[in-house]
Amino acid sequence: MKLLVTGGAGFIGSNLIHLVLREREDVEVVNLDVLTYAGNLDNLTDVADHPRYTFLRGDICDAEVVRQAMEGADVVLNLAAESHVDRSILSDAPFVRTNVMGTQTLLSTALELGVSRFVQVSTDEVYGELPWRDPDDGDPAPPLFTEDTPLSPRSPYSATKAAADHLALAYHSTHGMDVVVTRCSNNYGPYQFPEKLIPLMVTHALEDRALPVYGDGLYVRDWIHVEDHGRGIMAAAERGVAGRVYNFGGEAERTNLVLIREILRILDRPESNVEHVKDRPGHDRRYAIDVTRAREELAWEPTWTFEDGLRATVRWYLENEAWWGRVKSGEYWKDYGEIYGEEVPE
């Protein structure tokens, strides 16, 4: 099988490529990535010369580049996206371009070339928000997002992802194209760009910097290890039903404050550097995923416990300071002060 992975130099994409090349000897991977600030070929250094791996630099909005990359592919996994909510609030145009127009270019090319399956990789943020609950209060039946939950995106980022999901499923309904959509909760693991919560907190703690926490810090997220997400994407690609949506989550709800305290405990750092900052506009209070359909139809299960996964992730950042040091010395600092209300460090 030949896979085209778009956005494969990013966090989720690079972990997925590692997983596939390690575990699937029958799969060839083509990685198409334009290498924006969050795309990093250092993520894939150890597979750069792999005989079943090819990297192509290019924009998913460029139809000719897309056609070249997609030629001969059996399955397209679309992970290319602008994905940081804060950046979408500052400027939403790049999100509309990549997440909507780029997806349309990929879909139309896949239809033209007769690609066997198109997997649109999305997010639980398209569902909007759930009522707040304390994850430790013992509530036996908290509300969860299912695949039938109406979409109600509340940020420019999630709105563009919802639009792309609708477009992908419309290609199935209108053209009979084999399309599957996946939606996952918050990912964590190696190679995550340091603007996201876990690597931001880990690296700031290691640098003895302030740890910025939006609002009251009682925002609840369900966390899934990126490797479990990758296995879910492959399960959807291989066993999913055309026209269906599949949710993937780690069944690990935490408030941001509880998560940050656990990171500081692992690192043996004080909580005194936690600093509450002005809240994000339209900040969704809670996300939580029901993975029943993935279990029943795809035989998929999360394999990482959050405790083990977080410890392994923190250890990875401790052991790979050269990687995140290079990242944070470059485009990471663009817009940092405007997002977090801090001065950009020298």
Q: Which of 28, 82, 127, 157 is catalytic?
A: 157
Q: Does residue 109 lie within any of the structural domains?
A: yes
Identity of the amino acid at 185: S
Model pLDDT, residue 345? 39
> Per residue in 204-221, pLDDT tens?
999 999 999 999 999 999
- Is residue 11 predicted with pLDDT exceeding 70? yes
| Domain contains 337 | no
Identify whether 22 is part of a domain: yes
Question: How large a percentage of the chain has pLDDT more than 70?
Answer: 94
Residue 332: pLDDT band by 50, 70, 90 thresholds? low
pLDDT at 228: 98
Cα-trace Rg, the chain: 19
- Helix or strand (DSSP H, E) at 120: strand 117-123
- The reply to whether 78 falls in a domain is yes
Residue (of 140, 148, 145) closest to 130 by Cα position: 145
Active site residue 124: yes
Query: Average pLDDT, stretch 231-252?
Result: 97
Q: Position 308: which residue type?
A: D
Domain holding 83, by residue range, is: 2-188+225-249+282-304
Residue that has been written with the tokens 């083509």 in this structure: 30
pLDDT of residue 344: 40
Residue type, 174: T
Active-site residue, 157 included: yes
Count of structural domains, the chain: 1
> Residue 134, SS3?
coil
Stretch 248-263: mean pLDDT: 96
pLDDT for residue 195: 84
CA atoms 305, 311, 316, 317: torsion sign: positive
pLDDT at 150 over 50: yes
Assess if residue 288 is contained within a domain: yes
Q: Among the options 33, 82, 124, 228, which is catalytic?
A: 124
Token code pair at residue 333: 């600092």
Taking only the tens place, the pLDDT of each residue in 52-109 is: 999 999 999 999 999 999 999 999 999 999 988 888 999 999 999 999 999 999 999 9
Q: For position 330, what pLDDT does the model report?
A: 64
pLDDT tens string 257-268: 999 999 999 999
Mean pLDDT of 185-189: 96
* pLDDT above 50 for 346: no
Sequential DSSP letters for 51-116: TTEEEEE--TT-HHHHHHHHTT-SEEEE------HHHHHH--HHHIIIIIIIHHHHHHHHHHHT-S
- The answer to whether the Cα torsion of 11, 14, 19, 24 is positive or negative is positive
Q: Are strands 253-255 and 220-225 parallel, antiparallel or unpaired?
A: antiparallel
Q: How far is CA 110 from CA 61, 103, 165, 306, in A?
A: 13, 10, 15, 37
Q: Exactly one of 125, 195, 253, 284 is catalytic; which is it?
A: 125
**Domain for residue 342, yes or no?**
no
Q: Is 71 among the residues known to form the active site?
A: no
What mean pLDDT value characterizes the chain? 93
pLDDT value at residue 331: 57
Q: Is residue 338 part of a domain?
A: no
**How would residue 341 be classed by pLDDT, with cut points 50, 70 and 90?**
low
For residue 255, pLDDT beyond 90: yes
Quick one: pLDDT at residue 37?
A: 81
CATH at 289:
3.40.50.720
For the segment 118-139, what is each residue's pLDDT rounded down to a tens digit?
Answer: 999 999 999 999 987 777 776 6
Q: Is residue 341 part of a domain?
A: no
